[in-house]
Amino acid sequence: MLLDSVVRRMSVSLLLLSGAAGPACGAPPATTDALQVLHWWTSVSERRAVDVLAHQAAAAGIEWKDGAIPGGAGLGAGKVLRSRVLAGDAPEVTQIIGLSIGEWAELGLLLEIDDVAAAANWSRSLFPTVDKLIRYRDHVVAAPLGIHRVNTLFYNRRLFDRFKLQAPRSWAEFERTAEVFRNAGVAALAQSSEPWQVAALFENLVLATGGPAFHRALFVERSAAAIGDPRLLTALQRLRRVKRWIAAPADERPWPAVVTQLAQGDAAMLVMGDWAKGELNAAGHVTERDFGCAAMPDTGPYHLYSVDTLSMFAKDYAHRPAQEALARRVMTPAAQSEYNAVKGSVSVRRDADPARMDACARASWTTFAAGDAVQVPSLVHRMATDEASKDAIVAEVHRYYIDDAVTPEAARERLAALFRALRVSATPVHH
């Protein structure tokens, strides 16, 4: 996997040298106003969020040519993007998130939108973490859309009311609640065995067990001390224990199907990013009436985050005016409010009005606004580490989850060996 990353970088670099991806400098010629946008927003709520962006683009005189690629966590879209860039057919706009932005910018492929950001004073409007995320060597190379809280616990209110239960706030309460449902023959937790969904649950357990500093030490710094910390073993043990509360622990389902399981009452709880709220709302369910939203037990003060962003490919600069207009438009307060209300996320703007948000969004936005001490970059959603490292860690966690013969101690040793290999082969991405 690490070798694949190196080959990918070399291939794209050679492509740039040959000029197949288009020149990276020179005066921009006249523009056309149609932009092809590659992304992985394909669920019902995500399509509605895309419609919001497309309407915003149309209001700015831009035709949004949709290029949706199915696949949870953007795995399919990433492969399509790489193949198109290598073929010299990069889209004008693409969804790239987290540290992957820096990886693409390092190759000289992304359009710098400094003038747009400066004119609208993005550095003052954005949360500092988001402002840093969209920059590469102090140039703005992405337009931020919204912030997702990954450590969110959703629960079916009808089931909770039937058993006279409250949302669990600690692991002990979570266990007791799950056992009540299990003893009643109800699946306590909706969960897919798709690798990225398993790893997302695991990093929630890591955060709940060790807090933000431990999560960062493990997934950002990949320190030997964190690997040897007994809290990692606890998180692995809890991941194994959780399987007893899932109706079909080996069943791979796309995330919208898991959300439907919660909505229909086939499971009582769901640990997932707040995009699940967007999907629940799109299906006609109402926050606070039909389902509850809380922080993952033992993570109440923290915000495990993922940030949606759009980047523009420079190519021959023919589309630069339209690309800049789109970036300018999606950062306006009105676009931010409308998009995030549909998507389930919250605004990247510090001047957003929390009073206009529902309780779930307000808790997310105000927690994130507390600053670096509570903000935790998601491993699964490319906020904590590079693409190749993320893929390798996700695969190892999934291997442990699927195979009950692998002990927590053995899984920790495998992760330790993987982290040693990652440290040796790491190539830093400069922001």
Tell me the pLDDT tens digit for each residue of 100-122.
999 999 999 999 999 999 999 99
Pair (34, 182) in one structural domain: no
* Same domain membership, residue 216 and residue 199: yes
- Residue 430 within any structural domain of the chain: no
Q: Return the residue matching tokens 């790893």.
A: 199
Domains held by the chain: number: 2
| Phi, psi for 35 (deg, rounded to 5) | -120, 125
In this structure, are 416 and 276 located in the same domain?
yes
Are both 37 and 124 inside the same structural domain? yes
pLDDT digits (tens, 9 = 90+) for 133-182: 999 999 999 999 999 999 999 999 999 999 999 999 999 999 999 999 99
Q: In angstroms, how far is the first alpha carbon of the chain from the final one?
A: 23
Mean of per-residue pLDDT scores for the chain? 91
Do 118 and 175 belong together in one domain? no
Q: Domain containing 102 — which CATH number?
A: 3.40.190.10
Among 375, 394, 411, which residue terminates a domain? 375
Both 344 and 221 in a single domain?
A: no
What is the model's pTM? 0.91
Q: Residue 16 — very low, low, confident or very high, per pLDDT cuts 50/70/90? A: very low
User: Domain limits at 331?
Assistant: 2-149+305-375
Residues 298 and 310 grouped into a single domain: no
Pair 336, 247: CB distance under 8 Å: no
What pLDDT score does 426 carry? 63
356 and 286 in a common domain: no
In a domain, 19, yes or no: yes
Same domain, 297 and 388: yes
- Tell whether 355 is covered by a domain: yes
Looking at the structure, tell me whether residues 371 and 248 fall in a common domain: no
The pLDDT of residue 19 is above 50: no
Tell whether 281 and 406 lie within a shared domain: yes
